[in-house]
Amino acid sequence: MVLAAALILNSSFVAGVTPSTSTNSSSTMKSASTVLYLDIGASVSVGVQPTPRAPKGQPTNRGYANRLVAAEAAKGVALRLTQLGCPGESIASMIHGPDPCYVAPDTQLSDAVVFLRAHHLARTLVTIDLGFNTLNVCFNKVDIDLACVNPHLVVLGRQLTQVLRVLTRAAGANVSFIGLGHYNPYLTKSTKEGAAEIFAGNSVIAMRRMNQTLRRTYRSFNVPMADVAEVFKEEDTTVVRLSKKESTTANVVYECRFTWMCAAKPFGPNIHPTDAGYQAITKAIVAVLPANL
């Protein structure tokens, strides 16, 4: 099955997207309520998308963190954004390094601790977007080793527990944490037959297990998790008829809209969200924001 061009190109692409740096603060907005916002994680946390300058992807100022700042500003809450995320970051590299964004002995985790201690009394929101790059080693082109998944999820849970323990100990009483679940970019492979279709089916199992591990780990620290899979409609398997001979499922249509996996070269296939996808992630975060932010 092949998706129609209209679905594939529905990615809200904007030419010349301005990239952001890995550490960036939004300008302070005049408001009755100002909150620090620390955004940590991997590539999705810094809004990576393919752009004309970097077709394989680069950080942009159109990610969920930037959109959350705008959404809260409309409510009269000024979020002062600091982004520490690093493309390609795993939980292990966040703890120990090395990665391309930090020079030893600094790591993303150590910089996050410095930030939290420096602003110990401030009202602060922290979003944590980690996990996918820890599990992604089990995905190999059109093959997922399900025997690899469970051991890596054990490691993921243990490492994320370590990160959360360090962050919560460094945080003051006015800090609110939100963890992020993950979408499954590999659903779109179900549009092909054979090995790719099997890969897509196995990816559903693997990503469900990962989100369960993330939710369980965040819950152990009383941290809510934004349900990204839900806003990406990943459980919606309603048949969508594209033509007399072609059909797919609704979750694949959403995945094509919310990621670059269905985009034509040179921008696709790319696992990162589109503008619409980042907006959907923002919606998932807003749904679990604390009322007293």
DSSP assignment of 177-222, as one string?
EEEE----GGGGGGGS-THHHHHHHHHHHHHHHHHHHHHHHHHTTT
d(CA 224, CA 107): 25
Q: Which residues contact 259 (CB under 8 A, 6 or more apart)?
A: 183, 185, 188, 270, 271, 272, 273, 274, 277
Cα atoms found within 13 Å of the Cα of residue 61, Cβ hemisphere only? 14
43-93, pLDDT tens digit by residue?
999 999 999 999 999 999 999 999 999 999 999 999 999 999 999 999 999
Mean pLDDT, residues 116-142: 92
Mean pLDDT, residues 105-130: 97
Mean pLDDT, residues 267-271: 96
Residue with more model confidence, 217 or 7: 217
State the alpha helices, DSSP H only, in the chain.
5-8, 64-73, 91-96, 108-118, 132-135, 146-170, 195-219, 228-231, 250-258, 275-286
Does this model's pTM top 0.75? yes
Mean pLDDT, residues 4-13: 39
Return the H-helix or E-strand segment holding 267.
none
Q: What is the pLDDT of residue 91?
A: 97
Residue 108 predicted with pLDDT over 90: yes
CATH number of this structure's domain 5-286, picked from the four choices 3.30.70.580, 3.60.15.30, 3.40.50.1110, 1.10.10.10? 3.40.50.1110
Q: 117 with 172: CB under 8 angstroms?
A: no
Mean pLDDT, residues 148-169: 97
